[in-house]
Amino acid sequence: MHAMEEIEIVQYFEGKTIFITGATGFLAKIFLEKILRLQPNVKKLFLLIRPTTERSIEQRLHEEIFSIDLFRVLREEMGGDLRSLLDKVIPIPGDISHDNLGIFDPELRHNMLQEIDIIVNSAATTNFDERYDVALGINALGAMHLENFARKCSKLETLLHVSTAYVHGNGVGLIPERSFRKGDTLDGAKISYLDINTETEIANDRLRELQAQNSTEKEITRAMKDLGIERAMLHGWPNTYVFTKAMGEMVLEKFKEVANLIILRPTIITSTITEPFAGWIEGLRTLDSIFVAYGKGKLKFFVGDPESTLDMVSWST
């Protein structure tokens, strides 16, 4: 990216109110840190955070976001304390898998709908073999709930949805970028039409059936994971993750008629490469477990094509 382009992008966020879902996730934290560090004149940042029985959303904001090493440079610039940002960074209790994104306070929801200029949807479950009901609820129905919410935003300019390059499945050769439309399947699918409502009914029926049989939680989890893989492969996708992420794209495809719609499809995400400093990462992600195992001497070789191009994204933030 040219310096002038970066300046223009940073300037675009001046005075804007941004709503970020999946706020405690890897990508959302990187995006939040960048905005706060480079565009102090952003108006407001709403962060959708799911409360837990152990921690409030305020605790999660401080412990899982502001206190982590990624925000070290920003903390140093601000004298070690980020609490002064709380007038701009506002945690919102909610869950993308619910109607109205789980934001039950009608006054809060109304105010947000009047203020939001930009939505960044990074909420997702990225487990390849996630339970089908869980993956549908977050990756597909979550996108539906988000779209319904976004359509009510009176001044929304842009919706950025984080997807994955692997929605294209296991195709080889040159794969052209194209948007998915409702009903699309991939080459090799055994079913020619994908109906998200039908898939939701199948998942719910299977879950009720397992519960009626008094199955254990472990048995239910295993069966629902198997169902996800089965339904994905039936429609041409290799796993539940990319299958449900493709569904999420289908749900949002027509939103381009309402506002600017950006669907971001990163490949293998690794660490930061330069800013705020090199090498920040959280947990073991994607190929990291292979690198760590090699570095510790536990993995002596890895099967692959030495002539292949490894497509990875290192975030310069």
Q: Please indicate whether residue 294 is annotated as part of the active site.
A: no
Decide the pairing of beta strands 44-49 and 89-93. Answer: parallel
Q: Catalytic residue, from 182, 245, 294, 296: name it.
A: 245
Q: Extract the tokens encoding 12.
A: 């675009």
User: Which residues, 6 or more positions from 17, have their beta carbon under 8 angstroms from its beta carbon?
Assistant: 42, 43, 44, 45, 46, 115, 116, 117, 118
Q: Please indicate whether residue 193 is annotated as part of the active site.
A: no
Decide the pairing of beta strands 268-272 and 118-121. Answer: unpaired
Distance CA 208, CA 206 (A): 6
Q: Catalytic residue, from 16, 44, 241, 298: name it.
A: 241
Cis peptide before 106 (omega within 30 of 0): no
Q: Extract the tokens encoding 163.
A: 């997807």
User: Would you name the residues annotated as active-site residues?
Assistant: 241, 245
